[in-house]
Amino acid sequence: MLPNVISKTITLEDGREIIIETGALAKQADGAVVVRMGKAMLLATVVSKKEAGEGVDFLPMSVDYQEKFAASGKIPGGFLKREGRLSDYEILISRIVDRAIRPIFPDDYHADTQIAITLMSADADVLPDCLAGLAASAALAVSDIPFNGPISEVRVAKIDGQLVINPTPTQLEKASLEFIVAGSEEYILMVEGEADEISEDEMVEAMQLAHEEIKRHCQVQKELTKAVGKEVKREYNHEKSDPALYEKMHAELYQKCYDVVSKQIANKSERSDLIKAIKEGFIESLGEEHEFESSLIGPYFSKIHKEAARNLTLDEKKRLDGRKLDEVRPIWSVVDYLPSAHGSAVFTRGETQSVTTCTLGTKMDEQMIDGAMISGYNKFFLHYNFPGFSTGEVKPNRGPGRREVGHGNLAMRALKKVLPKDDENPYTIRIVSDILESNGSSSMATVCAGSLALMDAGIQIKAPVTGIAMGMISDAKTGKYSILSDILGDEDHLGDMDFKVTGTEKGITACQMDLKVEGLDYNVLKEALYQAKEGRLHILREITKTLSAPKPDLKPHTPRSFIMTILKELIGAVIGPGGKVIQEIQKDTGATIVIEEKDNAGKINIFSNDQDSMNAAISRIKGIVAQPEIGETYTGKVKNIMPFGAFVEFMPGKDGLLHISEIKWERLENMEGVLEPGEEIQVKLIDVDKKTGKFKLSRKVLLPKPEKTDN
């Protein structure tokens, strides 16, 4: 019996359709949908336990987005030939969905929840990442899991001056801005993307258009929920409560917390110790035997502390560390800090510090990408490391987590917009940011340090990039709000918005925004963007005191590059049989040589730390690719002696026949004792056979012609 499939269709302005289906696949999950667009198909499932774990006071949710290689007719590379751990790209999409979905769950819902989104079928003209959030929300919409949705995600791009929703990959190549925007019918939840130095108004315009499309997606999901009969969600009770305890704690501790935050202590550890002492004092005052629920003391105290800190900012316009709302913490920076690195910088802002290196490599150092949808090579990548000691914690080093991948990607997006074009930059560039201290926005410190490291390395970027993290504390009842520049870690925790913006003096290059509050007004958003601009420009003025423009040359120990273009037909001559020729050149000169066919020609990149080595390699290659000219004289080396003459290598890789009749003016009966293998002689190219291409040489024409004598 065929399943009862229920489907709904979303039609985009250009006529393309997004179809949401449920009822055919994965029916044992709490919710499952298939989202189609063209040939692309995503399966999204959600499963959530009925009860919360003991003592859990948060939402333990995981979101995994995975692209099956079979979806695009490919077999995975590597030894195992199967999908393994999520790639960085899949992790980034998982994070985007997580950041959009997590805020729509009720605050008191704490059951283990898992959302899985799988690309089952690919379409070269459809980017599936912008459908993942819609698929996840639709799976929740057809389940009985409580959530305050629906939501959706779209990609918005400006192409040839026009804003486009969910563009094709070909269209996206020409985009001047590209954002993935998530939201509900009422408000924006998440924004992430990059741009070519755009204005703040352009960014808001793009977000508004995206939100209009999102509203339509949400309406269709509501229709789907009604069609499957899932309007009523499951009942749950995941939180204990003790009103008497909360009232007692609030009465005794609120003012104490307010007094501590009012001191506006800049040092994070000192401030934390004073707050911790209040909590410990209260626990001691209760004694060992008391009538209250002990497990609630921690959550209730955090709530009271958060309320006190928020009210300080809303009522008195004061911040935890004593700064003004738009004030950036003190900054210091240096470049060329690590003498052996190709480029390095230290950037410190308040209690956040990044040591960043820039390493330049050859084409052979490019990163190979083997994905279901994306394959190829990447010549610019940025790695971000966040060790435990940066926050004074003990944490085992288990490799980069999702947070590290996400922060590194944001910084990479910010910086790649100012790099030289590929045809102007022969190098593979790796940026590594090691966070040595952290108290707010280490990803933005990475952007600043990365700019300095690139300029220190001598990479001719268009302009330095800086970044700032913005926050907001608001009260919907009173309408009060405060926008905070360069937020602390504590301000990020207690605030309603985390908004990171990067850019040059000219405009925005990347952004990442997460909202924790409903109904952010676009005028408030504009105010935050323009306040962020002032902060970015202030940081820019500070770092340019250290280094204002790229250094004119590379470091002495950085590999130099020389680019040559040769005829396509000569690529084989440079490589030689089995790579023999190019390997000999590299061995003899010490240079690294990369050759490829591009634009119907041979492109040769020569890398070397030594100029003499570089010159020797260039000379050898020029000798191979130089075209012999009839009438030119060459110094050749005798390779083989034959009865009818000798074969002479007169140019690298080019042999010609020196016939016995062309050696001397005098007639030679045989070759015995005339020439020796390895002997160097002067020869002239006198002809090239038009049919065979063989070279004919002469030595005698370079010798004086003997005068005739009378007998």
Bridge partners (DSSP) of residue 503 are: 466, 508
Distances (CA, A) of 410 to 537, 660, 703: 19, 72, 72
Under 8 Å between Cβ of 60 and 112: yes
Q: How far apart are the first and last CA of the chain?
A: 116
Rounded to 5°, the CA angle 107-109-111 comes to 145
Residues in the chain: 711
Burial of 415 (0-12, 13-18, 19+ CB in 10 A): buried
Cis peptide before 299 (omega within 30 of 0): no
Q: Tell me how far apart the alpha carbons of residues 474 and 496 are, in angstroms, rounded to a whole number.
A: 7
Q: Tell me how far apart the alpha carbons of residues 65 and 87 are, in angstroms, rounded to a whole number.
A: 10
Q: Tell me how far apart the alpha carbons of residues 576 and 654 are, in angstroms, rounded to a whole number.
A: 12
3-state secondary structure 373-423: CCEEEECEEEEEECCHHHHCCCCCCCCCCHHHHHHHHHHHHHHHCCCCCHH
Q: Is 110 helix (H, G, I), strand (E, B) or coil?
A: coil
* Short-list 437, 467, 441, 469, CA closest to 355: 437
Under 8 Å between Cβ of 130 and 166: yes
Residue with tokens 């905070």: 484
Bridge partners (DSSP) of residue 155 are: 180
- Position 124, amino acid: A
**What's phi and psi for 89, nearest 5 deg?**
-60, -45
Distances (CA, A) of 100 to 158, 206, 440: 23, 18, 21
Under 8 Å between Cβ of 502 and 89: no
- Position 152, amino acid: S
* Short-list 435, 544, 535, 527, CA closest to 483: 527
What letter would DSSP give residue 555? -
Q: How crowded is residue 274: how many other Cβ atoms within 10 Å of its Cβ?
A: 16
Under 8 Å between Cβ of 194 and 417: yes
Residue with tokens 């004792």: 673
Q: Determine whether the annotation assigns residue 492 to a binding site.
A: yes
For residue 573, the Cα-to-chain-centroid distance in whole angstroms is: 39
Residue 680 makes CB contacts below 8 A (sequence gap 6+) with: 635, 636, 637, 638
Q: Tell me how far apart the alpha carbons of residues 177 and 461 are, in angstroms, rounded to a whole number.
A: 19
Helix (H) or strand (E) holding 196: strand 188-198
Under 8 Å between Cβ of 663 and 690: no
Distances (CA, A) of 439 to 57, 147, 286, 321, 443: 24, 32, 33, 12, 11
Q: Tell me how far apart the alpha carbons of residues 362 and 606 are, in angstroms, rounded to a whole number.
A: 9
Q: Determine whether the annotation assigns residue 498 to a binding site.
A: yes
- Position 164, amino acid: V
For residue 381, the Cα-to-chain-centroid distance in whole angstroms is: 7
- Position 622, amino acid: K
Binding annotation: 492, 498
Binding annotation for Mg(2+): 492, 498
